[in-house]
Every structure is written in C-alpha cells, then in structure tokens.
A and B are shown apart, each in its own frame.
Chain A
C-alpha cells in the first residue's frame, strides 16, 4: 500500500511535467501579450519594453520555462500580471465560493440521485421507472444555459422567490439567502444525468449471481437492495464522485457568472481574457495536482469498499 502510494506519487511527476509543457506551449504561443493590457490607453516602445522586462517576458523561452518549473516546485506562482496581487491570495479568495456552491450542488444532487436511483432500480421496468427515465432524458435535453437564464428570470425576478444574485461574506447568509437558487439550478442540471448513471449501476448489480444467492437465502428484496446491491453499486458511484471532486474547484462557470458568485470559474475566464499567465498557471497546476490526488484517493477508496481490488 505504502509502496503503491509512493509509486503513484512519483508517477505524477511526468504528468505534471506534461501539463506544464502543454500549458506553456499553449499560452506562450497563443496567450496574448499581457504587456498591452498593463500599458493602457497609450504607450510607447520603452514603456512596453520595461513592462516586458518586469514580467520576465524578455527572457528566453527556456529560461521562462525554468522559472515555471521553479514556481511549480515551490508552489509559489508570484503575483498576478493583471492586478499585481499575490496569486495565492487571489485563488484563496476564489476557492471558498466555488467549493461552497459546487459542493452543495454535488451534495444535494448525489443524495437525491442515489436515493432516487435505488428506488427506481428497485422497481425497474415498471411504469414509474420508465416515466422517471423519460423525465430525466427530457430534462437532460435542455441546455444548462436555458435553465439558468430562465430560472433566474422567472424564479427570482418574476416570482421573487429568491434574490436575483449576490454573495456575502457570511457562510450562513450565503447558505440561506444566496445559495438556494443557484444550487437548485445546479441540481436540476446535474440530477438527471446522475440519476440515470446511478440507476444503471444499480440495475447492473442486480443482475449478478450473488443477488440470486441472497434470494435463495430467503432475504427480502428491500434487504437485498439495501445491503447487498447497494454496497456493490456504490463502488462505481463513489468512484465517479471522487473523480468529480476536483471540479469543485473549477466551479460552475455559468452559475458563477449569472449569480455574481466570486468563484474560480470566473477567475479562469478573467485570467485568460487578460492573459494573466501566473494565475492560469497556478489554477491549472493546482487542479492537475488535485485531479491526480483525487484519482489516487479514488483508487484507495475503491480498495476500501471493494476488497477484491489490489493496488498495484
């Protein structure tokens, strides 16, 4: 186990290197020149050269990459090029709202979809099952953008059930006032696909031989469902949840934009828009690392719930 973790961590190094390379190529090639943003309305060649020197853009590509390597090694990405604030403090401010928003969406959606999926799988083939599947499929066919635009317009503005937008400093205030509508919309968007996926996990498990054994033992159907099937079906479910955890940080761009929630998704767009390379680098590297860590954690959790799994 320990050796396994060590090896997996070592394997992250080439991946991180690849991510860095990809990022570096993409953004040095196409990322735009931030000096033109900093220079403002009017500029001259000297100003521009000064700015480029200050940003380190006048160094050779190789030297710039070496700096990048050093930044990744120390996880210190310096200051933002657009507003000259430490990248770490910018991201620190952004993480909270994203995690809160996406976390609640994920939590509500997961709890609802797992419980509904197990119920629907239990009555699989019935009218209820088919209706739920049909509703889910139809619900999934509508673009998230439409849900958000229409939801904000009607639920918040026309009906006045929720504030139109906003974000406060107090967690409780956010939870009670600002979160409900975006979370509701987020759940509407993610519930249907989750429900369908989890249902298929449950249904697939119910076809296994051990279910027959459990029946032959005289267990009742609910017990079979809740004990035997659930535990097995949770394996893919938990894995998919673990894999989606890094997206907590990426946030929900559309929701953040429409509800003025100061999350990571907006920061990414803003950083790209302003060619704020340090911020882009930091976000990407952090997310890459987190993705890998969560992948590893997913495998370890997998091992915990499925004793068959051997970590090699």
Chain B
C-alpha cells in the first residue's frame, strides 16, 4: 500500500475538567487513513470516536489538550503543529467534514447557496457567479431535487435529508482529499439514511477521496466501508478490513458489538450483552424464540378507528387541520407485544400518547377490558391510568432531575394508594429497583448520576410500581447504545415473561421491533399500512412502503444492497 493520506500517531486527547482534573478521552491511538478508501470509526458513546474526528481538524473545544508525542500527519505535515493560517487552508479545502445534526450545523440565517458558495469563494477563489453555478452543480451531484430553486432556500426550509445533502455538497465543494463524516445519518429516518449512505459511497468512488466515517452502528458501515476501527473508552480494540470485522472478529468487544444488535435474520431468546463476551468464556447463542399472536390470545386492548387531528392557526381566522392518526384499529393481546414501526411523522407516537390520554383522541374507541377508556371522564380514567403505563424515548428527559430514584418510584404508589405507608412504599421501591437490576444504593441517588441504560431501568421500574397491564414503550431503547439496548430489551422480555405484561412497542428501528414483537403494524403518514405477525411481515411484506422500509435497513455483512461492487473493490 502506498503512503497513507492521514496518519494518526499516538494521539492522546485530554479535557481539562471544571475541577481542573484532566479527563483523558483518547488514550494514545494510532491508525492510518489510506488514500481512496473509506475507514469507519465505530464505537459506542464515550469511545472517543467523535473526539478523534474533531482532533484531525483541531475543532475540539479550548479545554482539550493533545499529548506531547501525538501527531496527525496529513500528506506528511503534522496538523497539530500547523499555524492557524495553514490549518485554515486544510480545513474545508483538503479535509472537509459533515456532522450529525445538519439542522444546527448549517447557519440558519444564510441560504444554503450562500453557505456553499462561501467555501468555494474562500478556497477556490471563485467569483459569486461562478460559485453559484458550481453550488448548483454540486447540489445536483448530491441529489438535491430542484437545485436551482433550493439553492436560495434557507436550511429550515429543507428536510433533514436534504439538509444533509447540502452539508455534503458543501464538504465536497473544494475537492477534499478526505471527507470526515461524523454520524451523518443518525438523526435521519432509515429510508433517508440509506440514500445518504449511498451518496457518500458514490461520491467517494467517483472522486477518489478518502472517507472517515464515524458511527455507533456497525451495520451501517458494513455496507460500504473498506476498513473499520473499533474503539472503546478511548482505545482502539480492533482495526481491520471490514470483511474480517464481520466474519472473523478478533476482539471480544467487536464480537459483542456484532452480536448484541438485534438482527432481522435471527431472534434469540435473549440478546447477547457485552459481559457475555468480556468474561473470556466463549459465547453460545441461546435458542430461537418463536413469536406471533395465537388464536386463544386474550385481547386486552381493542382499538377501533382511532383518529387524532391537530389544529394550527392559519390566515386571518382560519385553522389548519393536520391528521396525525387516521382511522387506526388494532388489538393488543395479553402477554404479547405489538410493535408499531414507522418513520418520523408517521403518527406512531401519537397513537401511544392518545391511548394514554396524554392527548385527547379526536375519534375512535379503545376498549380496555371491555371499557372504552377514551370516552371516560378524567375521573373515571384515573383508576385505569395505572394499568396502562409508558416508557419514553429519552431516559434523560423522562425522569424528573430534581427527584431521587426513591421519590420517582414511590410517587406513583403514593398517588394511587399502593402500599400502606411510606415505609412499605420504600421497601417496594427497593424491591423493584433490585428487580430491574439497579444496585441497592441507587434509591438515594438522582437521575443524572446514572447512565442512559440505568435511567431507562428506573423509568421501567416506575411503571412497574403500579403493576400495569399494558406498557407502551415509545422508542424506549432508541437512544441507547447497542450494548445497553440489548440489556434493556432483555429486561423488557424478562418482565413480560414474569408479569405477562402486554407491550405496545413503538420504534423506528425495524430490527428491534422484529426482535421483540409478536405482531407488527407499519404506519405511514398517520395511516396503518400493514399489520401482521412479525415473522410474516418481514418475510413477506405486502405493502410497497413496508418493502421500501425493509429494504432500507442496513444489513451489515454480508452486504447485499447497493454496494455489492464495493465489496469487490476489496478483493
């Protein structure tokens, strides 16, 4: 192999914390980015992958310090030693970068054209007119529909996927030799994600540039990266060809990462967790779990013709109606899981919130044990409230930060008169905390002292205090790292097995839904497009939209979708 484009040597990054203590985020890593190759930097949160990518362009905040021997060589020059002027030439010129949140990463008050032209004028010395023409052609290249019109649009007038295309257009404007993509698709829907990934892969090939692709999801890069660097806690665990990573991973952590992600192709009784691999004993996959509604299932919740309309003000006195949920009917069986999948705006969350009466339904009935909970007065509903509970998506937001875990767990009991007194409620809370796998001293702590996975356990424990019949999981595992996600999914499964809970499992992640659901309903723009047992629907989707959705799921390895030739490039 020839001279690498970028060579990272013994990179150490420490952040000086508020208390003056240094926190070492990157602990002396070295790897190369060869020319014309896509290198994936994979890791969970806290692994240091983003810090590494930011370090290359020296975009880290001012409290970051590099180790004395650290070097980032770009075409032989150490970027860490470059003066600001030379560094600016590299930034945007030779090395370009795209970010996770295209909305906030674009300046909201300039048109997208202006922002692309700015780079062109800066690095290529173009005039406005030329830059504009070039910007339009770049947008065309990046697949933005109607580029002539959209070049004058402001970022907020574009969709998330379009914004990311703009970011990419901006990044490739000056023919960079290296494109750093920092989780560019994490905030996007799965169908859009696929398009963007394809775009990056195509551009890489067409332009012969190198790409450093940062992601937490190995499956995403499996499709098109040439090699992968797996990071954990500031260290590199494994660095090899992508094929090797999937087919013969050497490092236990890599192995765990591959296994703990639910997969469309298999459904073990329990998902693997990191600990299964790290103890040194070889991992044996548990047997397959069959799923599906069966005839004798007791229907605990029967939703008929659920409809929800939101209104917004428009014109002089007018209102604009927006139907978030249109005539949705389904049945939830006792002890079973009904998955609801759909992309953002599909109305899946609205269904959950409406059933909890966190929104009032516009029309429809929901029979819970034969009673329509939607038409009850709030007073009547109060008794039912404890029987349907919800676990929200963001474990950081769903727990009151000013409450201790004990407060959080005893509050519902107090409100519903569960337990004979404070003493007993505390005991019950301790039992539940234990049940969801929290340590014994957890009760006196505050939510911010816990990790995301632990917080989600607290949220689940809170629901369990009321011994509900139905648990609505609204994207409950989406924000978690894959390893933690596996733990929480296992917990949910255990609880279902133990308490015969019924789950309404709402998620955009089809793999997860496939793993946990007995029956799946697919929603699109407020409409239920398809509903069937999960194995059935994944094996044999009836609706075009379902098929599109399924096709968009990153499959990791073996790569099967858009980039078959990519694999060939390897050989």
**A and B are partners in one complex rather than unrelated chains:** yes
- Residues of A participating in the B interface, judged by any CB pair closer than 8 Å: 3, 6-7, 125, 208-210, 212-221, 228, 231-232, 235, 305-308, 312
Tell which of A125, A216, A221, A312 touches B92, judged by Cβ atoms closer than 8 Å.
A216
- Specify which chain A residues have a CB less than 8 angstroms from the CB of B106 in the assembled complex: 210, 213
Is B279 on the interface with A (CB-CB < 8 A)?
Answer: no
CB of B132 to closest CB in A, whole Å: 17
Residue of B at shortest CB range from A306? B109
> Does the CB pair A307–B109 fall under 8 Å?
yes
The 8 closest A-B pairs by CB, nearest first: A218-B92, A218-B91, A217-B92, A209-B104, A307-B154, A210-B107, A218-B88, A216-B97
Residue of B at shortest CB range from A214? B107
**A3, A213, A306 pick with most chain B CB within 10 angstroms:** A213
Is B145 on the interface with A (CB-CB < 8 A)?
Answer: no
Binds A, one of B311-319, B413-421, B499-507, B552-560: B311-319
- Specify which chain A residues have a CB less than 8 angstroms from the CB of B57 in the assembled complex: 215-216
> Does the CB pair B59–A308 fall under 8 Å?
no
Is B24 on the interface with A (CB-CB < 8 A)?
Answer: no
Is B443 on the interface with A (CB-CB < 8 A)?
Answer: no
- Specify which chain A residues have a CB less than 8 angstroms from the CB of B34 in the assembled complex: none
CB of B107 to closest CB in A, whole Å: 4
- Specify which chain B residues have a CB less than 8 angstroms from the CB of A209 in the assembled complex: 99, 101, 104-105
- Specify which chain B residues have a CB less than 8 angstroms from the CB of A214 in the assembled complex: 107
- Residues of B participating in the A interface, judged by any CB pair closer than 8 Å: 57, 59, 62, 84, 88-93, 96-97, 99, 101, 104-110, 118-119, 122-123, 154, 156-157, 167, 170, 312-317
> Does the CB pair B59–A216 fall under 8 Å?
yes
Instruction: Report how far A217 CA is from B317 CA in the complex, Å.
Output: 45
- Specify which chain B residues have a CB less than 8 angstroms from the CB of A307 in the assembled complex: 108-109, 154, 156-157
- Specify which chain A residues have a CB less than 8 angstroms from the CB of B313 in the assembled complex: 312
- Specify which chain A residues have a CB less than 8 angstroms from the CB of B315 in the assembled complex: 3
Instruction: Report how far A20 CA is from B284 CA in the complex, Å.
Output: 80
7 pairs of residues in contact across A and B, judged by CB atoms under 8 Å: A209-B104, A210-B107, A213-B107, A215-B57, A216-B96, A216-B97, A228-B110
> Does the CB pair A231–B110 fall under 8 Å?
yes
Residue of B at shortest CB range from A210? B107
Tell which of B109, B167, B312 touches A305, judged by Cβ atoms closer than 8 Å.
B109
Residue of B at shortest CB range from A208? B104
Tell which of B88, B96, B104, B167 touches A219, judged by Cβ atoms closer than 8 Å.
B88
Known interface pairs A210-B107, A213-B99. Does A312 touch B312 (Cβ–Cβ under 8 Å)? yes
Tell which of A213, A217, A231 touches B109, judged by Cβ atoms closer than 8 Å.
A231
> Does the CB pair B110–A219 fall under 8 Å?
no
Known interface pairs A3-B316, A216-B97. Does A210 touch B118 (Cβ–Cβ under 8 Å)? no
- Specify which chain B residues have a CB less than 8 angstroms from the CB of A235 in the assembled complex: 109
Tell which of A6, A216, A306 touches B91, judged by Cβ atoms closer than 8 Å.
A216
CB of A122 to closest CB in B, whole Å: 13
> Does the CB pair A213–B105 fall under 8 Å?
yes
> Does the CB pair B316–A7 fall under 8 Å?
yes
Instruction: Report how far A307 CA is from B123 CA in the complex, Å.
Output: 27
- Specify which chain A residues have a CB less than 8 angstroms from the CB of B104 in the assembled complex: 208-210
Tell which of A3, A125, A221, A308 touches B108, judged by Cβ atoms closer than 8 Å.
A308
> Does the CB pair A212–B59 fall under 8 Å?
yes
Per DSSP, chain B at the interface is mixed
Instruction: Report how far A228 CA is from B90 CA in the complex, Å.
Output: 20
Instruction: Report how far A232 CA is from B59 CA in the complex, Å.
Output: 21
> Does the CB pair A212–B99 fall under 8 Å?
yes
- Specify which chain A residues have a CB less than 8 angstroms from the CB of B154 in the assembled complex: 307-308
CB of B150 to closest CB in A, whole Å: 14
CB of B398 to closest CB in A, whole Å: 25
Tell which of A218, A228, A306, A312 touches B93, judged by Cβ atoms closer than 8 Å.
A218
CB of B103 to closest CB in A, whole Å: 9
Tell which of B62, B88, B97, B170 touches A220, judged by Cβ atoms closer than 8 Å.
B88
Instruction: Report how far A172 CA is from B126 CA in the complex, Å.
Output: 48
Known interface pairs A3-B315, A231-B110, A312-B313. Does A212 touch B88 (Cβ–Cβ under 8 Å)? no
- Specify which chain A residues have a CB less than 8 angstroms from the CB of B312 in the assembled complex: 312
- Specify which chain A residues have a CB less than 8 angstroms from the CB of B96 in the assembled complex: 216-217
- Specify which chain A residues have a CB less than 8 angstroms from the CB of B88 in the assembled complex: 218-220
CB of A228 to closest CB in B, whole Å: 5
Residue of A at shortest CB range from B94? A218
> Does the CB pair A215–B59 fall under 8 Å?
yes
CB of B109 to closest CB in A, whole Å: 5
Known: A3-B316, A217-B170. 18 other contacts (CB 8 A): A210-B104, A213-B107, A214-B107, A216-B91, A216-B97, A217-B92, A217-B96, A218-B88, A218-B89, A218-B119, A219-B118, A221-B84, A228-B107, A231-B107, A306-B109, A307-B108, A307-B154, A312-B312
Instruction: Report how far A220 CA is from B91 CA in the complex, Å.
Output: 10
Instruction: Report how far A312 CA is from B122 CA in the complex, Å.
Output: 38
Instruction: Report how far A187 CA is from B106 CA in the complex, Å.
Output: 37
Instruction: Report how far A7 CA is from B107 CA in the complex, Å.
Output: 31
Residue of B at shortest CB range from A229? B107
Instruction: Report how far A3 CA is from B317 CA in the complex, Å.
Output: 9
Instruction: Report how far A263 CA is from B59 CA in the complex, Å.
Output: 53
- Specify which chain B residues have a CB less than 8 angstroms from the CB of A220 in the assembled complex: 84, 88
Instruction: Report how far A305 CA is from B167 CA in the complex, Å.
Output: 22
Known interface pairs A214-B107, A216-B96, A217-B122. Does A308 touch B156 (Cβ–Cβ under 8 Å)? yes
Instruction: Report how far A217 CA is from B99 CA in the complex, Å.
Output: 12
- Specify which chain B residues have a CB less than 8 angstroms from the CB of A232 in the assembled complex: 107-109
> Does the CB pair B123–A218 fall under 8 Å?
yes
Residue of A at shortest CB range from B93? A218
> Does the CB pair B107–A217 fall under 8 Å?
no
CB of B427 to closest CB in A, whole Å: 46
Known interface pairs A6-B316, A216-B59, A307-B156. Does A210 touch B92 (Cβ–Cβ under 8 Å)? no
**A7, A218, A235 pick with most chain B CB within 10 angstroms:** A218
- Specify which chain A residues have a CB less than 8 angstroms from the CB of B105 in the assembled complex: 209-210, 212-213
CB of A115 to closest CB in B, whole Å: 20
- Specify which chain B residues have a CB less than 8 angstroms from the CB of A217 in the assembled complex: 91-92, 96, 118-119, 122, 170
Instruction: Report how far A148 CA is from B315 CA in the complex, Å.
Output: 50
CB of A268 to closest CB in B, whole Å: 37
Residue of A at shortest CB range from B116? A217
Tell which of B62, B89, B90, B108 touches A306, judged by Cβ atoms closer than 8 Å.
B108
Residue of A at shortest CB range from B57? A216
Instruction: Report how far A217 CA is from B97 CA in the complex, Å.
Output: 8
Instruction: Report how far A217 CA is from B89 CA in the complex, Å.
Output: 9
CB of B74 to closest CB in A, whole Å: 14
- Specify which chain A residues have a CB less than 8 angstroms from the CB of B92 in the assembled complex: 216-219
Instruction: Report how far A257 CA is from B145 CA in the complex, Å.
Output: 64
- Specify which chain B residues have a CB less than 8 angstroms from the CB of A231 in the assembled complex: 107, 109-110
Instruction: Report how far A289 CA is from B555 CA in the complex, Å.
Output: 63
Residue of A at shortest CB range from B89? A218
CB of A81 to closest CB in B, whole Å: 41
Residue of A at shortest CB range from B122? A218
- Specify which chain B residues have a CB less than 8 angstroms from the CB of A219 in the assembled complex: 88, 92, 118, 122
Residue of B at shortest CB range from A211? B107
Instruction: Report how far A217 CA is from B180 CA in the complex, Å.
Output: 12
CB of A236 to closest CB in B, whole Å: 13
> Does the CB pair A210–B108 fall under 8 Å?
yes
- Specify which chain B residues have a CB less than 8 angstroms from the CB of A221 in the assembled complex: 84
Instruction: Report how far A235 CA is from B314 CA in the complex, Å.
Output: 25
Residue of A at shortest CB range from B62? A125
- Specify which chain B residues have a CB less than 8 angstroms from the CB of A210 in the assembled complex: 104-108
- Specify which chain B residues have a CB less than 8 angstroms from the CB of A208 in the assembled complex: 104
Instruction: Report how far A149 CA is from B551 CA in the complex, Å.
Output: 78
Residue of A at shortest CB range from B87? A218
Instruction: Report how far A215 CA is from B157 CA in the complex, Å.
Output: 24
- Specify which chain A residues have a CB less than 8 angstroms from the CB of B314 in the assembled complex: 312
